A and B are shown apart, each in its own frame.
Chain A
Amino acid sequence: MDVNLEHALKNDCKTLLSRFQQTESVRYEEFSTVWRDMKFSTIFYGKLQPTEMRCFTKEVLSIATYYFFPPYSFQIRVGGLYLLYGLYHSQLCDPKEKIRIALKDWEEVVKFQHDIVNAQHYDTAYVLKKMFSAKAFYFTAMPRLLYYRTKQKVNKHAVCEDFRERTWKINSLVTEDSLEEILNVHEHYQKMKCAISRDKTQPDRILRLLTEDFPQELQNTISSFNRWLDEQKKKSTEKRPREKQQEDDGECEDMSRETEASARARMLANIKSRSFSNVAEASKSRRHRQAELGSSESGSDHGVQRKSSTKRKSLACRTKLAQKKSGVKQEVGMETAGQRFSMPVISEESDEERAVNRPPKKKRLS
């Protein structure tokens, strides 16, 4: 297949998904709006000969399949699924070209299905189920047709960094659980100090080896870091529409910024309340239910809340994965099996670059 066309196809998929990402929702409704707006079905239009059409359809489906699997974030994976659904049903081949799922990726599909059912994303579950019943999949040994080519340059799929679920070293260092743990330990520590002091309400001066409001300080640092992270994300996602649509959509953007700001505030409040109150937090299923209340009609805020919750859930395992994979050596020229997952999660330069902008509060910690 033409390299240019392949590249263009990738770009189209990326554009669609990044627009879907901006909606900060996983609702099918939002996706289909973007789809219609881009007139994505027309990608199959034009005078194409049958073999050419088959070849093209296979290529599009195989490109779209990448977005359905990790390392992409949950929202992009949902978007990837919708994209497959859309492409599969709007293709013009008869019989339809199928989507290839490899045995090694099947675990991910099952996990994903489990996640969406748990999080009660019924539209996503419905779409997935419908694809199964439409027999849209080939169950294969390997994700692509393999043909031993040594001379030819093999085009590999470059992971789109914007869609990737970020693992920040800070986040892996201080998770919410560990924050709570620190809080508890600190409280206990304070109590112990009080117990051995002369004045039972307050520890002796000699025992004051630690800043008393250390956990609070840490808490603040983390939340300000999260805020900064949010802003960075916003900047990167806002740049794109400006380049593309330039003048119009001014109002629209303002509105979205407003909702985003409120969402951010809510998220911060959430974090604060969770770690400062000793009340047992609501169980995960409960939180989903709260978010789900009255939400078959979707608003972007529902999406945000839910998104953050799924993010939180997978963070620990994601970090583990990243740590494990960072040890994997990369061979020159040919890549090893784990390559798809083993790319360094954050490139060092960009990390340092950002460090310049980072709030200075972090220094107090060390």
Chain B
Amino acid sequence: MAQVVAESDCGIPAYEYQDINSTVFHVGTLAKLWKERLPADVYSFEEPAEDSSAQHDAVFGAEMALNCETVEEISTLCRLDTLKCYPEGESPDVETIPMDALDSLSSLRIRKTKQDYREQTISKDYLGRHENYVHELESHALGKKSTNPEDNIEEGELVLTVNILYPAIFQVRKRVKPHQTVMILGSQKLTQLRDAICCQSDYQITGEFSNTPDLAPEHISKDHFKSAFFYFDGVFYSDMRFPECRDLSKTIIDWTKSNERGYEKFQTARMENTTFCNLKIKVGYPYLYCHQGDCEHVVIFTDIRLAHRDDCRDKTMYPLLMRKHWVLSRKCFVCKMYIARWVTNQDSFAPADPCFFCDTCFRMLHYDKQGNKLGEFLAFPYVDLGTFN
């Protein structure tokens, strides 16, 4: 145990539990330690020059105190062509699995069997739109740069990958994959992550609006209840940007204090004053994001690393959405085309209870041209998860 403490003190993260989560460490220190250890050119964003290989050889020769011939010999010995597994001058077809490699590579045999099975059973071979979507989302920002040089991220900046799970109050989605995966910079504030999290309950509109459907958009929960907090390793970071924000963590802290409940002392801090570099966290450990009073999302930092040349370099694009769970959206029962915006109960016009409508169909069916209510029904605004797709 003493060893673990010593390691976390010096800021080098180690495993607390193998392949599950790390020990607590300070994020800013991690960046500092890496930058101390690495020569600057190793993590710089510098684009490779035209004659980069010749230049590289020269530098290598100088470092090792070798003469030109030796360096040349080494570089011909180690050139990338030595890895090619096909005759000179030919370019291989990467889509077909070469038969002669099947004997030596067992993983290829598995792929071959899979592919053969696929070819036999599937009549049409196309990229699934879901796959396509994932790929697009992952790669749309890769290597992008801003035209304004000030908006580009600096070398040695930290990039954090955060998984946000579905709120624990929805029992249905408890076991599915993370709701969204976001990449965020070490220098960014926690509030920026909070704003990037999209959750249904933020857009919820409470109340019955069958008499005044036009008033509904004014009652979005997000604008009414702005309080939220993150909980990272013993500290509550509350969002206090607006005067009407309340410190939601206060109740919890009071509760832990009210009796001897065996909790350590919790601290509080302000979300808007904290950057990710100021945090002390464990990688891979579940933390909490709570908003709208009781909508609690588990938040996990899956990765922290130095920014790479191929990353998106436009600061303004962060927090960058990397992956999102794709959900089927509920369509309007009338047109079967648009996503449902309204749900009605005890509706004299509807075939089912509850019944879903898009905005247009809802108004056409339930109101006359002057906007007067027809028939008896209760109408509630409905926020579909699919709207975030």
Seen from chain A, the residues whose Cβ lies within 8 Å of a Cβ on chain B are 2, 4-5, 8-9, 11-12, 15, 28-29, 32, 35-47, 49-52, 54, 86, 89-90, 92, 95-96, 98, 100, 102-104, 106, 110, 117, 122-123, 125-127, 129-130, 132-135, 137-142, 144-149, 154, 156, 296, 334-340
Contact = CB atoms under 8 A, between A and B. Distances in A.
Interface stretch (B14-22, B216-224, B248-256, B369-377): B14-22
Given A15-B104, A141-B283, A142-B15, A296 B74 contact: yes
Interface of B: 3-4, 7, 12-23, 25, 30, 33-34, 37-38, 41-43, 48, 52, 56, 60, 63-64, 66, 70, 73-75, 77-78, 80, 82-85, 92, 94-98, 100-101, 104-112, 115, 125, 127-128, 131, 134-135, 138-139, 142-143, 161, 163, 283-286, 300, 302-306, 308-310
A186 to B, nearest CB: 41
A41 B85 contact: yes
Nearest to A102: B13
Given A37-B104, A154-B19, 9 more contacts: A35-B82, A43-B105, A122-B74, A129-B60, A135-B309, A142-B13, A146-B283, A337-B18, A340-B18
B98 A42 contact: yes
B117 to A, nearest CB: 12
Contact of B80 (A89, A123, A142, A154): A89
Contacts of B108: 42-43, 45-46
A2 B110 CA distance: 10
Nearest to B27: A141
Contacts of A38: 101, 104-105
B154 to A, nearest CB: 15
Contacts of B14: 104, 337
A46 B135 contact: no
Given A32-B83, A46-B111, A126 B60 contact: yes
A84 to B, nearest CB: 12
A328 to B, nearest CB: 9
B22 A142 contact: yes
A148 B288 CA distance: 13
Nearest to A42: B101
Contact of A334 (B20, B92, B142): B20
Contact of A122 (B41, B66, B115, B163): B66
B161 A98 contact: no
Contacts of A36: 82-85
Given A39-B105, A41-B83, A339 B18 contact: yes
B42 to A, nearest CB: 5
Which A-B residue pairs are the 6 nearest by beta carbons? A146-B284, A39-B101, A335-B18, A140-B305, A32-B82, A8-B107
A41 B3 CA distance: 42
Contacts of A40: 83, 85, 105
Contact of B110 (A8, A41, A54, A102): A8
A92 B94 contact: yes
Contacts of A96: 310
B373 to A, nearest CB: 49
A52 B163 CA distance: 20
A149 B143 contact: no
Nearest to B281: A141
A29 B78 CA distance: 8
B305 A141 contact: yes
13 contacts: A15-B104, A38-B101, A39-B104, A42-B98, A45-B94, A104-B12, A106-B37, A126-B74, A142-B304, A146-B284, A334-B18, A335-B17, A337-B23
Nearest to A150: B20
Contact of A141 (B77, B143, B303): B303
For the residues of B in contact with A, the DSSP-based class is: mixed
B40 to A, nearest CB: 12
A50 B42 contact: no
Given A45-B97, A117-B64, A145-B303, A103 B30 contact: yes
B22 to A, nearest CB: 5
B20 A89 contact: no
B307 to A, nearest CB: 9
Contacts of A9: 107
A48 to B, nearest CB: 8
Nearest to A129: B60
A86 B83 contact: yes
Contacts of A132: 42
Contact of B30 (A39, A43, A141, A338): A141
A125 B211 CA distance: 77
A110 B38 CA distance: 10
Given A117-B64, A140-B304, A141-B305, A334 B56 contact: no
A110 B37 CA distance: 9
B104 A148 contact: no
A100 B305 contact: yes
Q: In the complex, which of the residues A52, A106, A148 has the most CB atoms of chain B within 10 Å of its own CB atom?
A: A148
Contacts of A336: 15, 17-18
B112 to A, nearest CB: 7
B17 A130 contact: no
Nearest to A151: B175
A140 B161 CA distance: 11
Contact of A12 (B41, B107, B304): B107
A325 B139 CA distance: 44
B78 A127 contact: yes
Contacts of B48: 133-134
Contacts of B143: 95
Q: In the complex, which of the residues A5, A139, A140 has the most CB atoms of chain B within 10 Å of its own CB atom?
A: A139
Contacts of B106: 8, 11-12
A35 B78 CA distance: 13
B305 A139 contact: yes
A240 to B, nearest CB: 13
A98 B159 CA distance: 14
A39 B109 CA distance: 13
Contacts of A338: 3
Contacts of B3: 337-338
A125 B304 CA distance: 28
Nearest to B105: A12
A141 B13 contact: yes
Nearest to A59: B107
Contact of B303 (A44, A130, A142): A142
Contacts of B15: 142, 335-337, 339
Contacts of B94: 44-46, 92
A142 B283 contact: yes
A123 B64 CA distance: 11
Contact of B308 (A39, A103, A135, A146): A135
